[in-house]
Amino acid sequence: MKYEISLKDSAKKTLDNLTKKDRERIYKSFLAISHYPVYGNRLDLPVGDYYSIDIWPFMIIYKIFDKLKLVSIVKINYSLGVNKH
């Protein structure tokens, strides 16, 4: 069953500022995630189950809500800057 994709405001803002080519690449990754949410790498964080997927040079951080059939895109950033606050 396909999962719905939702973007947090910060992820949407980042996506809106990317080039058309980069947005298209990231949208393709959303399609893959919507069909198979555990496609990415599971992150070992104390705050919950988060996953990441690399779409070079970007990293997408997301959380899966199985009961709601929802994937929430938390952050989109350059791979080297995704963990910086």
Across 64-79, average pLDDT: 92
CATH of the domain at 32: 3.30.2310.20
Identity at 29, one-letter amino acid code: S
How many domains does the chain fold into?
1
Domain that holds residue 12: 4-81
Q: What pLDDT shows up at residue 46? A: 74
pLDDT in tens, 10-29: 999 999 999 999 999 999 99
Residue 64: name the closest of 29, 33, 28, 31 by CA.
33
